[in-house]
């Protein structure tokens, strides 16, 4: 996929009516030739954008005393392991899950986190995931992880033949948005069983705009 061509399509996608807010730019990748009932054809992984997509991701950390002070400085919410019983109510848990994009957990408390929060966070795909770096040792650098998660995208192709994610805002430099689009597309292609043969179409869309196809 040519990055200059992506920038041309971005310009075309922005030609629609101007809105009174900064629209997000969505990447939509439609797939073909997969049997999603077969685990070997399903795809799920975490990957990195080259630049933050413009929308800040909120992060909640569940930690012990070793990381408490650092977490309170870096993360959007800190829950100490002693406070975990306060979040056993399902309504409280659902609210917590909807408020935060990622959950970090201190590794030596993961069993308690899974027992206390897993019934709600698990089905929503919000459990602290080691593949995203969200299960951390007591001496972790949370600032580095927080910054990384701002550019992290979870790609899940298990039930639908279409994948969609935000890759930027309309006021971002087009070069940066193009880099993000290229990074996601390249990562997905390399995870698909038959790589480019499994790509049906690639489109760019502003929040209130019409999808524009990248040939």
User: Which of 108, 125, 149 is at the close of a domain?
Assistant: 149
pLDDT digits (tens, 9 = 90+) for 80-101: 999 999 988 889 999 999 999 9
Residues 32 and 66 in one domain: no
Residues 49 and 97 in one domain: no
Residue 37 belongs to what domain range? 3-54+151-214
Q: Is the pLDDT of residue 3 over 90?
A: no
- Averaged pLDDT for residues 54-75: 95
Name beta bridge partners: 169. 24
pLDDT digits (tens, 9 = 90+) for 142-152: 999 999 999 99
Torsional sign, CA 120, 122, 124, 130? positive
Domain count along the chain: 2
- SS3 state at 5: helix
| CATH number (domain holding residue 131) | 3.40.50.790
**8 Å CB contact between 120 and 90:** yes
pTM: 0.86
Residues 139 and 104 in one domain: yes
């Amino acid at each position: 996929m040519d990055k200059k061509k992506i920038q041309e399509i971005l310009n075309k996608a922005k030609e629609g009516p101007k809105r009174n807010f900064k629209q997000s730019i969505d990447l939509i990748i439609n797939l073909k030739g997969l049997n999603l009932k077969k685990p070997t054809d399903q795809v799920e992984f975490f990957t990195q954008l080259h630049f933050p997509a413009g929308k800040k991701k909120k992060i909640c950390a569940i930690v012990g005393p070793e990381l408490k002070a650092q977490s309170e400085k870096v993360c959007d919410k800190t829950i100490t392991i002693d406070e975990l019983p306060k979040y056993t109510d399902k309504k409280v848990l659902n609210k917590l899950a909807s408020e935060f994009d990622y959950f970090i957990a201190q590794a030596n408390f993961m069993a308690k986190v899974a027992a206390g929060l897993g019934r709600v966070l698990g089905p929503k795909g919000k459990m602290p995931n080691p593949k995203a770096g969200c299960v951390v040792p007591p001496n972790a650098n949370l600032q580095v992880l927080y910054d990384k998660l701002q550019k992290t995208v979870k790609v899940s192709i298990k039930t639908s033949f279409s994948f969609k994610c935000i890759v930027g805002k309309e006021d971002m430099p087009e070069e940066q948005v193009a880099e993000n689009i290229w990074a996601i597309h390249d990562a997905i292609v390399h995870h698909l069983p038959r790589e480019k043969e499994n790509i049906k179409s690639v489109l760019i869309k502003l929040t209130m705009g019409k999808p524009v196809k990248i040939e």
